[in-house]
Structure 1
């Protein structure tokens, strides 16, 4: 027998993390209100609150699985609407260290599509849920609490041109992203400062849209030329909806792709493999290149706090913001919503410390270590390289080399970076035997 839905939850932020959270909350609460300063449902899909929305976004394989679980049939709808779809290791051309990985069927689906297109489809599904509504074009001013600051009871907002109003809630979930003010509000309430961890990467990326002849992709839906220590520049070229292709090129520590068309093309030409440049040579640009900068990885360690008010949780980029070139953000938000969903199954107002501990263990820790470790493989990036880190770099380099020849290694590696399998699968006897053979060549 299903649990009765009752009470109200308020989600701060209508991005993917907020939408996944609303879906999880809708199973427990009779009313879920998503608050955002943008016009979410209007014609302008490039939201002000998503300045990187113009650029390429990736929903990793595990994220796609969760999205389909939450919204059955959405994958077919996205594909029908023009999104590319295929096997993540068989229909994507992966180029790492200048070499193509072996094509192999991984049984993992990948979708290639723009962020606004994906967000609109997910948002429409969330709006169709019983009891879910959006409060658009509303500024989030502050949290409402009990007099002793022990419990959050709602949020104070201001609609466009209106007066302040309080949305009372049994639970508030902050999904406002990297600019979240929860850490500041907590200190104003007298709580300890949340520990923050930052790693400077100075990433910059530039995006341009094209019309690409069908033959140029040679049957693939995406060409991923990954930046590596030897050539710390990368780019991704994908088929997306609207019979378009999106090309996002990136570089670290100030070595950013130019926004001038010839300079952008020259940057792509300098990559470790010529594949994407060859596609662009026979393609027609649709717009001018647009740039975006991402200075640092940022993690807020809420799981280390010893005290936290009831009735408030944080999720998505508001907790941890990763190097976007690894495309982990939306999938980690989806994984976080599963943690939220699990805690809500027990109570309408989960214990925040236990929630944050599970969020760290089940959604963030492994991805954070993977991202920071990958960043440290670039000699120019500052940070301590312990013996463990150096051994991890050597091992991953060995895996990547073996994946250019051995199908089993290529499949296992694809499933790990898709966040479907644990990195432990790379240490199974079958994979280690394949690595040993590669190491003898």
Structure 2
């Protein structure tokens, strides 16, 4: 039996990370309040998540965690139209210009739109008996006492009010307010690691001819040095395909149909480009831009106010082209749960250390890949150049060695740590070529 650690906790932000944090907190607090500035409900679409229109990937490890926190969630989503796929069997990976060999792995994922997933999580969270939601509410600031956070001030349809709390979670994403709050309370801001990536997206929803792509349910075409263009095609609910073009280092995908087709002709296999040309358009092409990847090193702070934690993109926002954000948010939720099981003493230090450990593999993969691009504006150490050369060799070998392809896919799916790629069996295969 889990021991309760407090009376009331508040989560600011009802995105994926906020919903998962709220779920964890209901095990430890008598009451949990989820505060969101957008209206909640409907199909899950929110103004605060403009990137929700584009391709999102719930990696296999992320799906495992969601199923652990919400038993039966996977079956519910599949019953309502989400699309299952098996890694490197029904997911075609074309990384570094090399199409990976296929081999059954048993590692499965679920493909859907971001609003679809978010709406299912929200429905589950709202069904928790000790959780309340407050939407259409702006966060005015923190309530503090002697350097400790004791609640939040919010403004909604019923005016301004202060809500007391034992713990407040900033899950407000890239627009999180903790940096400003720390300065106003006399605390240091965390160090930041930044990689300028200048990602631009263009997404089109289509209905492809039946079995136009055979057994494939997802196709990932990565960027690589010399070609800052990629694409992702995902079968999603509603018998639709979501096709996202991604450009890095300031290269922007076109927003007209002919330009869209020409981009795919350049980067995708011929059967993929032909299937998209034969598809039925389901609306207009939408766009988004992400200038930088940023990691905030909260774990290195010597002081942090009691009663406050941070999760999700407010800790680290990735280059979204790698599809890691939602799954890393799930890892943060597990870290929060494990720390709360040990009580609230020295909670911030323990939690940020655990969150950093969970984040490290995904950050190494994404930032390393970004730095491999000659177009990325960041300094590269000799070690980074050596690791990128090794990863490039692995990608070449994975085109004809299924076991290397499986090893690479398990690391990219956050099922195994990056160190799995230098295990003797994998290293030997890579060097043998």
**TM-score normalised by the shorter chain: which range applies?**
over 0.9
Match of 1:92 in 2: 91
Match of 2:25 in 1: 25
Cα drift, residue 269 of structure 1: 1.8
Cα drift, residue 4 of structure 1: 4.0
**Equivalences for 1:10-21 in 2 at 5 Å?**
10-21=10-21
Match of 2:37 in 1: 37
Match of 1:424 in 2: 419
- Cα distance in 1 for partners of 2:284, 2:49 equals 19
- Cα distance in 2 for partners of 1:171, 1:399 equals 45
Contact 1:261–1:288 (Cα < 8 Å) also in 2: no
- Cα distance in 2 for partners of 1:356, 1:333 equals 13
Contact 1:412–1:425 (Cα < 8 Å) also in 2: yes
2:205 corresponds to 1:206: no
Cα drift, residue 96 of structure 1: 2.1
Pick aligned residue for 1:370 from 365, 369, 374: 365
Distance 1:230 1:132, change over 3 A: same
**Equivalences for 1:303-318 in 2 at 5 Å?**
303-318=299-314
- Cα distance in 2 for partners of 1:274, 1:349 equals 58
Match of 2:318 in 1: 322
Match of 1:386 in 2: 381
Contact 2:2–2:341 (Cα < 8 Å) also in 1: no
Distance 1:2 1:295, change over 3 A: closer
Segments of structure 2 that go 5 or more residues without pairing to the other structure are: none
- Cα distance in 2 for partners of 1:47, 1:349 equals 36
Q: Deviations over 1:292-335 (max 9, x none)?
A: 00000011111121111100000110010000000110111100
Pick aligned residue for 1:237 from 226, 233, 236: 233
- Cα distance in 1 for partners of 2:51, 2:320 equals 10
Cα drift, residue 61 of structure 1: 0.9
Match of 1:332 in 2: 328
Cα drift, residue 6 of structure 1: 4.6
Of residues 344-353 and 107-116 in structure 1, the stretch that sits farther from structure 2 once superposed is 344-353
Cα drift, residue 270 of structure 1: 1.8
- Cα distance in 1 for partners of 2:97, 2:13 equals 40
2:212 corresponds to 1:216: yes
Contact 1:101–1:405 (Cα < 8 Å) also in 2: yes
**Equivalences for 1:58-207 in 2 at 5 Å?**
58-146=57-145, 148=146, 150-160=147-157, 162-207=158-203
Cα drift, residue 394 of structure 1: 1.0
Distance 1:227 1:364, change over 3 A: same
* SS of structure 2 residue aligned to 1:193: coil
Aligned residues: 433
- Cα distance in 2 for partners of 1:98, 1:312 equals 44
Segments of structure 1 that go 5 or more residues without pairing to the other structure are: none
Contact 2:5–2:344 (Cα < 8 Å) also in 1: no
Cα drift, residue 366 of structure 1: 2.1
Cα drift, residue 400 of structure 1: 0.8
2:255 corresponds to 1:289: no
Aligned-residue RMSD, C-alpha: 1.4
Cα drift, residue 5 of structure 1: 6.6
- Cα distance in 2 for partners of 1:152, 1:19 equals 21
- Cα distance in 1 for partners of 2:384, 2:97 equals 23
- Cα distance in 1 for partners of 2:390, 2:78 equals 37
Cα drift, residue 350 of structure 1: 5.0
* SS of structure 1 residue aligned to 2:32: strand
**Equivalences for 1:250-289 in 2 at 5 Å?**
250-271=246-267, 273-289=269-285
* SS of structure 1 residue aligned to 2:328: helix
- Cα distance in 2 for partners of 1:436, 1:252 equals 30
Cα drift, residue 74 of structure 1: 0.8
Match of 1:433 in 2: 428
Of residues 346-355 and 410-419 in structure 1, the stretch that sits farther from structure 2 once superposed is 346-355
Contact 2:365–2:418 (Cα < 8 Å) also in 1: no
Cα drift, residue 195 of structure 1: 1.9
- Cα distance in 2 for partners of 1:44, 1:85 equals 20
* SS of structure 2 residue aligned to 1:178: helix
Q: Deviations over 1:356-406 (max 9, x none)?
A: 122112x22222122111001110111112110111111101111111111
Normalised to the residue count of structure 2, the TM-score between the two structures is: 0.97
2:245 corresponds to 1:246: no
- Cα distance in 2 for partners of 1:190, 1:137 equals 30
Normalised to the residue count of structure 1, the TM-score between the two structures is: 0.95
* SS of structure 2 residue aligned to 1:53: helix
* SS of structure 1 residue aligned to 2:242: strand
Match of 2:46 in 1: 47
Contact 1:98–1:272 (Cα < 8 Å) also in 2: no
